[in-house]
Amino acid sequence: FLDRHLATTGRAIITHNAFVGLDRSRQALDARGLSLRVVLTVLVNIPYDKITRMTRTVLEAENGRTVHRYGPYSFGEVHIVEIARTRKPG
């Protein structure tokens, strides 16, 4: 896990799908002495083959919220997040 590899003052920058709960990720990181901060949110194209594999439940819940459709095109919000230590390891 990241906490084993992150230096005391280090930071990790990763992408995080907006429709995957940030609160759940924050809780998991907090349990390991790490924090999560959203640095930027961007829209990325969701290819047709991927959008057709998404569950109906996710699409209905996220349509217009984190999944946006413009004609035949679909886009999803993706967060760029920074993960940092909140306490020293050990």
Give the pLDDT confidence score for residue 21 in this predicted structure: 85
DSSP annotation string for 34-71: EEEEEEEEEEEE--HHHHTTS-HHHHHHHBTTTEEEET
Contacts of 6 (CB under 8 A, 6+ apart): 12, 34, 83, 84, 85
17-60 confidence digits (pLDDT tens): 998 889 999 999 999 899 999 999 999 999 999 999 999 998 99
Candidate from 10-14, 38-42, 86-90 with smallest mean pLDDT: 86-90
pTM: 0.82
Give the pLDDT confidence score for residue 8 in this predicted structure: 84
